[in-house]
């Protein structure tokens, strides 16, 4: 696995992997022998997933590859411990070591983002958002958030969610040019008087002017919230604007560009700390998953290293390399390009839907996801667009030239999707790149 580290950690990783490799070759002892002996069906399924990850080009922008250290923490004995409450305020005994690891996660997150208060217990991004609404709002309060089809998230007010039944979500859209119209948001804010203005996205590709949003919110007496789930790693590395120091509350996942375990986190001003903590527990969750929190702490430590800043820079360089190729194609690049790690592309000019594009690219080993485009005339399960990004491939060590090659291959496959020769050529490229940039070498569940 290619993750840039300092010399000490790099040597440790190499030594560790050498020892494991030696054990496998000489003694034929599988690394995950307990799992394979106890439940071979599950072991086989996980091994097959490992094989899939090793041999495809993973371009879903919300996915990444964690380090072996994160994997070890996630699978540790910390999963055995119940620890309802917060460090130093538990409802169970025997939490001394758990308090240490959760406190480390909190302090590292504060340092990464410049946060006044952090809660690392949310199980994922959606529960984190729901906890914020629960903490700061009353039923029927108005929330001004981004429309799902224009790049927002389900939990930002989509009518299919339970939260949409409890709160009055007003949704803003991007302009015809694909940009956020701050003047329009100001007009909507003065009209609807929201209690909370929410920014953030799951498929928007441009930077956000948080200062403009804060000014609008102050004008109408609204709280400010940013959901940075997709771009947290880029923000932590200083590659994108940071709303944590100015907004009332910021939520994020800990995977995606932050390259940690699947989980959530809430950062807020100190005056909201008690309400946020109480909303998470006992309001919405019971005992926190301390193995997951331990893995978050490891990921935060990795993200504090200088090498992570270089990683984040490369994520953006790689995304720009993709943009360069798609801009000159018949496919339509949404929002006019990208300022972050992902692209949203309308593939209907190529004569197929986003679902069809996802399926044909899966067949050659390129994994991305179908996605709606702004005001999409098609359905969410068979939309017009595809969403793709660079975090996982950057973790593996791919650079700009690789991205340009991949983007051109995607266009070739989508344009000539019935041509077996074109698809065979694409598969050969995938094989070449994945072998050149191996993932988790000498690691097995069997």
Question: Mind telling me the catalytic residues?
Answer: 82, 84, 227, 253, 256, 262
72 vs 138: CA distance, rounded Å: 41
323 vs 342: CA distance, rounded Å: 9
- Helices 400-415 and 354-362: crossing angle, nearest 10°? 110
Q: How far is CA 103 from the centre of its chain?
A: 23
8 A C-beta contact, residue 233 and residue 390: no
46 vs 36: CA distance, rounded Å: 10
Q: How far is CA 32 from the centre of its chain?
A: 27
Of 265, 257, 252, the closest CA to residue 302 belongs to: 257
180 vs 200: CA distance, rounded Å: 11
Per-residue tokens: 192? 């609807």
362 vs 439: CA distance, rounded Å: 19
DSSP-derived secondary structure letter, 180: B
Q: Give strand pairing partners of 264.
A: 253
DSSP-derived secondary structure letter, 247: S
215 vs 207: CA distance, rounded Å: 17
């Amino acid at each position: 696995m290619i993750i840039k580290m300092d010399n000490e950690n790099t040597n440790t990783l190499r030594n560790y992997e050498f020892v494991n490799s030696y054990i496998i070759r000489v003694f034929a002892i599988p690394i995950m022998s307990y799992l394979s002996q106890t439940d071979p069906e599950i072991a086989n399924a996980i091994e097959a997933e490992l094989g899939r990850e090793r041999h495809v080009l993973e371009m879903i922008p919300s996915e990444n590859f964690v380090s072996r250290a994160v994997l070890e923490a996630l699978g540790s004995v910390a999963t055995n411990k119940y620890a309802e409450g917060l460090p130093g305020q538990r409802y169970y005994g025997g939490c001394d070591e758990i308090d240490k690891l959760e406190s480390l996660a909190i302090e590292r997150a504060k340092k990464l983002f410049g946060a006044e208060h952090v809660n690392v217990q949310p199980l994922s991004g959606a529960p984190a958002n729901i906890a914020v609404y629960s903490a700061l709002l009353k039923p029927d309060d108005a929330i001004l958030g981004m429309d799902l089809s224009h790049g927002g998230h389900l939990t930002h007010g989509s009518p299919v969610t339970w939260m949409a039944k409890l709160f009055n979500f007003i949704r803003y859209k991007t302009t015809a040019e694909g940009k956020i119209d701050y003047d329009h948001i100001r007009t909507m804010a003065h009209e609807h008087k929201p209690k909370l203005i929410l920014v953030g996205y799951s498929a928007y590709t441009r930077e956000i002017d948080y200062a403009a949003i804060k000014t609008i919110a102050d004008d109408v007496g609204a709280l400010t919230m940013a959901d940075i789930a997709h771009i947290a790693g880029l923000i932590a590395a200083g590659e994108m604007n940071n709303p944590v120091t100015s907004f009332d509350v910021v939520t994020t996942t800990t995977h995606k560009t932050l390259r940690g375990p699947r989980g959530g986190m809430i950062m807020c001003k100190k005056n909201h700390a008690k309400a946020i903590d109480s909303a998470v527990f006992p309001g919405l969750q019971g005992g926190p998953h301390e193995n997951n929190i331990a893995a978050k702490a490891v990921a935060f430590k990795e993200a504090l290293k200088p090498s992570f800043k270089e990683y984040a820079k490369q994520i953006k360089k790689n995304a720009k390399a993709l943009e360069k190729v798609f801009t000159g194609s018949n496919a339509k690049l949404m929002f006019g390009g990208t300022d972050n790690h992902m692209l949203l592309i309308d593939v209907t000019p190529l004569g197929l839907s986003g679902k069809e594009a996802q399926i044909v690219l899966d067949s050659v080993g390129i994994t991305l996801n179908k996605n709606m485009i702004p005001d999409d005339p098609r359905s969410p399960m068979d939309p017009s667009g595809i969403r793709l990004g660079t975090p996982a491939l950057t973790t593996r060590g791919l650079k700009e030239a690789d991205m340009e090659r991949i983007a051109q291959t995607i266009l070739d496959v989508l344009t000539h999707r019935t041509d077996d020769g074109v698809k065979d050529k694409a598969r050969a490229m995938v094989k070449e790149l994945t072998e050149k940039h191996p993932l988790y070498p000498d690691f097995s569940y069997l």
